[in-house]
Amino acid sequence: MKDSLYIAWRYVAYHRVKTAILITAITFMLFLPLALRTLVAACERQLMARAASTPLIVGAKGSSLDLAIDTLYFEPKPVDPITMAELQRVERSGMARAVPIFTRFQARGRVIAGTTLDYFEFRNLVIDNGRQITRLGDCVLGATAAERLDLGPGDHLLSSPEDLFNLAGTFPLKMHVAGVLARSHTPDDHAVFVDIKTAWIIAGLGHGHQDLQTVDDPDVLLRRDGRDYTANAKLLHYNEITEENIDSFHFHGDVSEFPITAVLVIPRDKKSEDLLRGRYQSIGEPCQILRPAHVIRDLTATVFKVEGMLNSAFVLTGGAATMLIGLVVMLSLRLRHREVQTMFKLGCSRWKTAELLISELLIIATASLLLTGLAVTLTTMYVDQILRRVIL
């Protein structure tokens, strides 16, 4: 067998291009389904870890999956807003802590998550560089967001307008980057966090402008009726909150009517959780309360069904590839007929001829298996990083 392996090795080494193509084809054929399985399992694990760390979410009725994905992973989904009244309702119950989440806006492709400092405490997020949000207009960036946007403390970030062609829509707010969060290897790394009030200013519910009592230009003031002033469009509105103009920022309307996307609910105990869930079961209730772990489990179950279909496709493709490889081997044998004849004429034993060919296949199969093993090992070792970079 040693001699056969040696001759086979000389053959595959001499025909290195053909050998490399065969090994690559077999490696991919074996690696792809295994890698898919590894990635799906890790993806499920990461998705579930995030979901399991979030007890309850309250949001508008509709797709529970959209609500969970938007709130947990900051992937923009068409989720109807609810009002701050829902948050107050949870807080009034005394059974849970409530953290608002408002994810309507984006900045350079990153979701702006309007929330409160409670969110950072809840998620154990700490500042790595700079400082925490302390005033209107401040934002802190997730580690990946800061890296990709190439921003750090002291820089500015402009919120993206919702619709470029809507002249009456919201104006971009120039936010001040106060700090960068330490990497948490969660979707928080990709988001831009602002105080919920800053998010409402981006939404146009609060604004800052020239003081109408001290405005110099007489054309700006259209009418004055006691303490009520009516100004025209010439009035200067600020698109950046600074030390100088921060006092001019104010909100119009009742805060309890202001929009949020969801409320993260952290019940005191299991009983409180059950009671809270019961309160959202009634007919006519405009909101839903969901347990993210259940929603994501349903999602992963669906993913596994898709994976099963993909595996079937891989089996078929693998079968076709095996047949093609068989054809290549057969054609190769036909091309090598003269070589086999020469060995026969020299006195090569019949078994030895078969052994030589088997040895070549063995070398190719072994190399493919080793490469597949290496690739699967590397995928398993770096699966979390791959998922963070590619998917999450």
Partner 1 sequence: MIHISNLRFNYPNGGFRLAIPELAIDDGERVAVIGPSGSGKTTFLNLISGIAVPSCGSVRVGGMELSAMGDAARRDFRIANIGFIFQDFELLEYLKVRDNMLHPYRINRTLRLDPDVRARAARLAEDMGLADLLDRYPNQLSQGEKQRVAICRALLPRPEILLADEPTGNLDPLSKGRIINLLSEHARRCNATWVNVTHDHGCLDAFDRVIDFAQFGSRAVA
Options 11-19, 126-134, 260-268, 270-278: segment touching partner 1 (CB under 8 A): 11-19
Options 196-204, 300-308, 320-328, 347-355: segment touching partner 1 (CB under 8 A): 347-355
Indicate whether 24 belongs to the interface with partner 1 (CB under 8 A): no
The residue (of 354 and 370) whose beta carbon lies closer to partner 1 is: 354
Options 62-70, 125-133, 234-242, 341-349: segment touching partner 1 (CB under 8 A): 341-349
Indicate whether 167 belongs to the interface with partner 1 (CB under 8 A): no
> What count of Cα atoms within 13 Å lies in the side-chain half-sphere of residue 170?
21
Contact 257, 203 (CB under 8 A): no
Which amino acid is present at 77? K
Structure tokens that stand for 209 in this block: 């402008």
In the list 352, 362, 375, 376, the residue contacting partner 1 (rule: CB under 8 A) is 352
Indicate whether 349 belongs to the interface with partner 1 (CB under 8 A): yes
Indicate whether 15 belongs to the interface with partner 1 (CB under 8 A): yes
Integer CA distances (angstroms), 362 to 30, 96, 219, 358, 370, in order: 16, 64, 90, 6, 12
In the complex, the smallest distance separating the C-beta of residue 367 from partner 1, rounded to whole angstroms, is 17
User: In this structure, how many other beta carbons lie within 10 angstroms of the beta carbon of residue 211?
Assistant: 11
CB-neighbour burial class of residue 1 (10 A; exposed 0-12, middle 13-18, buried 19+) = exposed
Structure tokens that stand for 113 in this block: 């998550």
The residue (of 218 and 347) whose beta carbon lies closer to partner 1 is: 347
Integer CA distances (angstroms), 254 to 82, 258, 282, in order: 14, 7, 26
The residue (of 14 and 165) whose beta carbon lies closer to partner 1 is: 14
Indicate whether 256 belongs to the interface with partner 1 (CB under 8 A): no
In the complex, the smallest distance separating the C-beta of residue 350 from partner 1, rounded to whole angstroms, is 7
The residue (of 5 and 205) whose beta carbon lies closer to partner 1 is: 5
Go through 96-133 and write b for each residue having 16 or more CB atoms within 10 A of its CB, e for each that does not: bbbbbbbbbbbbeebbbbbbbeebbebbebebeebeeb
In the complex, the smallest distance separating the C-beta of residue 335 from partner 1, rounded to whole angstroms, is 11
The residue (of 16 and 131) whose beta carbon lies closer to partner 1 is: 16
In the list 356, 363, 383, 386, the residue contacting partner 1 (rule: CB under 8 A) is 356
In the complex, the smallest distance separating the C-beta of residue 332 from partner 1, rounded to whole angstroms, is 12
Contact 56, 273 (CB under 8 A): yes
Indicate whether 345 belongs to the interface with partner 1 (CB under 8 A): yes
In the complex, the smallest distance separating the C-beta of residue 371 from partner 1, rounded to whole angstroms, is 23
In the list 268, 339, 385, 391, the residue contacting partner 1 (rule: CB under 8 A) is 339
∠69-200-161 over CA atoms, to 5°? 75
The residue (of 251 and 351) whose beta carbon lies closer to partner 1 is: 351
Q: Is the dihedral of CA 372, 378, 383, 385 positive or negative?
A: negative
The residue (of 342 and 385) whose beta carbon lies closer to partner 1 is: 342
Options 184-192, 215-223, 335-343, 368-376: segment touching partner 1 (CB under 8 A): 335-343
Binding stretches for partner 1 (CB under 8 A): 3-4, 6-7, 10-11, 13-15, 338-339, 342-350, 352-353, 356
